[in-house]
Amino acid sequence: MDSALSDPHNASAETGGPANGTTRPPSTPEGIALAYGSLLLMALLPIFFGALRSVRCARGKNPSDMPETITSRDAARFPIIASCTLLGLYLFFKVYFPNKSYTGSVLKTWKTQKSKKGKTAAIQNPTTRDNHRFPFEIFSQEYINLLLSMYFFVLGILALSHTISPFMNKFFPVNFPNRQYQLLFTQGSGENKEEIINYEFDTKDLVCLGLSSIVGVWYLLRKHWIANNLFGLAFSLNGVELLHLNNVSTGCILLGGLFIYDVFWVFGTNVMVTVAKSFEAPIKLVFPQDLLEKGLEADNFAMLGLGDIVIPDLGLAIEMQ
């Protein structure tokens, strides 16, 4: 839902570039065509495979494998909850994480005042110190993004493991020692015992989880665009597979609300742009427009939000019921 931010890394070129006056060279037509063609292909892959796997889940007899159904009430609430979350992130980054250069100038001014007037002046004027120095030092943007990265690291390896599991099963030998496991959490005892978590898995699932963890560590350490796309494709495929709309009217409510959400937050304000530039998470697919010039180290990206892939294609689930 943030596809309007197609070239976030071109901001320096549009605003005059760095202080030394250099700007990013414009992308070649071949690079642009390759980038947007690749984004289109990556958007179609989770739709196709997610739809196929959704059909299998709908035909399955195991209730635990049935997709989650979105009701009309859920569809009406979703744009409101998304707006509150987006605005909260915007205020969080904007208020508590001022620009580093700005904070540095404030601290420099405070130290200058302290050196000229002594400790008494510093105690008499604590506002500058409390309002600018402490929030930046305690709630650093880097630490918050690290926390979010760890959160998406866990979600990403689980989603990627679930995604590659059917493909990996074809490569295991027939005599592979596959053992069954069950993770069970219950609450209460006797007749009042209630299952909270009941998850069954096997050795093959553990192997897939290990391979997915390698990708997760790669993303956590390097934030490489390929690792980001692997997680993004996994999130998209799982979203198409595991989410269903109960009827057409629910889809109209959801898409209508998100249409207003997109128009307001993307085109009417700078909230989406600010959050997208501050928020480091695999919630989008990216592809470099300068791949032909710089190879895998390219850094001029075109971008497509995962919401633009998953949300419009939830209507496919209606035909599968």
Please say whether the beta carbons of 70 and 244 come within 8 A: yes
CB neighbours of residue 120 within 10 Å:
9
| Helix pair 72-96, 248-262: axis angle to 10 deg | 20
Active-site residue among 262, 290, 299, 313?
262
What are the two backbone dihedrals, phi and then psi, of residue 108, each rounded to the nearest 5 degrees? -65, -40
List of E strands, the chain: 68-70, 180-187, 194-202, 243-245, 284-288, 301-305
Q: Which of 2, 205, 290, 308 is catalytic?
A: 308
**Element containing residue 185 per DSSP (H, E):** strand 180-187
Task: Give catalytic status of residue 308 as yes or no.
Answer: yes
Angle at 273 between CA 269 and CA 276, to 5 degrees: 140
CA nearest to 128, candidates 141, 111, 145: 111
Q: What angle do CA 65, 69, 73 make, to 5 degrees?
A: 155
193 with 199: CB under 8 angstroms? no
- C-alpha 89/C-alpha 110 separation (Å) is 29
Structure tokens at 266: 């993307």
How far is residue 109's CA from residue 128's CA, in Å, rounded to a whole number? Answer: 9
Task: For the beta carbon of residue 24, count every other beta carbon within 10 angstroms.
Answer: 17
Between CA 91 and CA 102 the distance in angstroms is 17
* Pairwise CA distance, residues 231 & 283, whole Å: 8
- Cα 101 → chain centroid: 28
Catalytic residue numbers, as ranges: 262, 308
